[in-house]
Every structure is written in C-alpha cells, then in structure tokens.
Amino acid sequence: MSDIVIHCNEEKGQKFIKDVKGKEFLFSFVISYTETAETPGITVAGADPDFLKFTPPADAEFLHYGFCKSIDVIPMTPDGKPTPALLTKAALESAEIPQVVINAGSKIAPKLPYFETSLIPGKNIALEPGLEQSLVERAIDYGRILGRTLASCTDCLIIGESIPGGTTTALAVLKSFGINAHVSSSMPNNPESLKNEIVEKALKRSDSKDPFKIIANAGDPMIPFVAGMLSSASEITNVILAGGTQMTAVLALAEAIGYDKDRTALGTTSYIIDDKSANLLEIVKSISDIPVLSINPKLEDSKFSGLRAYSEGFVKEGVGAGGSIIASILKAGMDSQKLLELIDKEYERISSSK
C-alpha cells in the first residue's frame, strides 16, 4: 500500500483504503465530446481535428481488445507517446477488474457493447452554451440510474473519462463556481492563455450562480453525467473518481446535487499532483473534504522514451489511469514495479504490431 499517497483528508483517505482493500472493483469508462476541443492548439489528444472525435471510442476499444477498431492506427503520437489507456489496461488486467464503457455524448460510438445514454456532444463553449439545460438534467438523471446499477454490482466503482478538450470546460465550470483553478494539460507547455481566452468568453455569457445553469453554459456532457453517477453510486458503495482536474468540476456539481463524501475519493497519477501549472489539491480542498489518492507509475524508469515522456510532462493522466493503478494495488496487491513491467510489455506489444 505504501505506493499510494494520501492527500487532503488523511483520515478519510486511510479509512477509504481500509474499506476497499482486497474487495471487488468495477471500472466504468465514460466517453464524451465537446466541440471546444476543435479549437486549434487546445489538446494533444489527436492533434488532427478530424481525428479528435475518434480518441474516446479508440481508447475504449483499446481497453477491450488491445487494439482499436474505429481507427486503423495504434493509439500513440507519431513520436511514440501512447494513450494513457495503455496504463489503465495493464492495471485492470493485472488485477482482473472488469470494465464497462458508457457513451455519454461521444461523437463516435465505440465498436463494442457499451452503455448508451442518448446524450449528444457538447458545443464549443467559446461560441455558445455547452449544452441545453434540459440535457444537463437528463445527463444527471441517467447518470444516477447507471450509477445505482453499477454500484450494486461492486464494492468500489471506479469512474474514468475520455473527453478531448475536457480540461477547458472543467476550467470554465470551476471558475463559474468561483473557484480559483489552474488545470493540467496533456502538453508540457500548458496552453493556459488559450484556455483562459475560451473560458472568458463562456463566463461573459452568464454570471448565474445556479449550478445547473453553470454546467449548461460552461460545461460538457461528461460533467453532469458523472456527477449523477457519483451521487447515486456513493449512496450504495465506494467510488473512486479517476482523473485530474476534470473530476473536480464533477465534484463541484456533485456538491449541489448531493453525494456521500465518506465513500468518495479522487484517484490520480503523481504527474497531476506534481504539475506546477495546476493546483488540483487546492481545488479539491475548496470544494470538499474528500481524500485524494495518488500513485507514481514510475514511468521515468520505463525502457521506452514514449512512456518516459509521461514523467516529463506529457499526457500525465487520462482514461482513469491513476485510479485504475490504485485499484489494482488495493485489490490485488500489485506494486508499481510489477505494473511498470506489464506497462512496458504492453508498449512493446503495440509497437511491434505497427
């Protein structure tokens, strides 16, 4: 357990770890989309705008099959930085943690069985409200239904996400809630001024403090859906929000709709915690007293430069990687050394399938 670091509420973190140690976990992977991602320079996840929309389903397919079906290439950048789904896959498989994919507004459906929610992609918040108010409510409702179902099947529900451009909508939501937020980026040179420009445009449109109106104006479909999931699931079982700053936007909304803070933890990688351009722990503390758990995947020791790049500020987190690694440690007693071997092996496999 010594690999997992507890931040914020130490006592609750200890209790959370004790409650789920050796228990059954279920990984739910929420894929979504916001047209905000189409702003040039905003995300590394699929630099080509035509390609962006395939990132979430491709990640889902990679988790399931070990290769992608919606796209013809292996999910890494031209210079060999792989999708964080690689970390998630290695972690979930090492601990035999089952997974389900939830389509909460992805532009493209994955080629595998997935939960459909009939949500549509979010709009570009620089130009117009992210989603209609009625969609916010439906996303929360559907999230609540699914959260209840999934929570009934496990001792600990992990919720991960993939939504290109999602850190920008998260930033806009957090700022609308009056939170002093700096969010992480998938690139080492965080395009913060570009993000802030978009956020300013969204904030100018509305100064409402109503949580539902904030999400409609500045959010994306993932945020209300996952908040709904958290709300019902935490009444039944333990929940790990697996991700970085995007999950804090979920927390901000969850404060308004209610959830059980004694059964909720945020789980992430140390790369997010160590990100000097962001302030994840400050954001969490300003919203809630839940614990944050982090894990260092030690990718600086990887055999492959594409993986070592994670420790140099690229990608950092995504597809619930941090939370999945934490879950594999808690369920099956994995350690980060063993996991690194599995991650390297997985990287070798996909590289040689080129």
Site residues (CB under 8 A) for its own copies? Answer: 24, 26, 64, 96, 98-100, 102-103, 109, 111-118, 142, 145-146, 148-149, 152-154
Which of 87/236 has CB closer to its own copies? 236
To its own copies, the closest distance from the beta carbon of 100 in angstroms equals 6
User: What tokens appear for 28 in the block?
Assistant: 């739910």
Assess contact for 89 and 346: CB atoms under 8 A.
yes
To its own copies, the closest distance from the beta carbon of 163 in angstroms equals 18
Please give the Cα distance from 283 to 274 (Å, whole number): 14
Assess contact for 251 and 179: CB atoms under 8 A.
no
Assess contact for 331 and 95: CB atoms under 8 A.
yes
To its own copies, the closest distance from the beta carbon of 111 in angstroms equals 8
Assess contact for 278 and 183: CB atoms under 8 A.
yes
Q: Is 283 helix (H, G, I), strand (E, B) or coil?
A: helix
To its own copies, the closest distance from the beta carbon of 32 in angstroms equals 14
Assess contact for 278 and 245: CB atoms under 8 A.
yes
Which of 44/145 has CB closer to its own copies? 145
Please give the Cα distance from 74 to 311 (Å, whole number): 21
Which of 22/113 has CB closer to its own copies? 113
To its own copies, the closest distance from the beta carbon of 26 in angstroms equals 6
Which of 145/203 has CB closer to its own copies? 145
Which of 4/100 has CB closer to its own copies? 100
Largest CA distance in the chain: 52
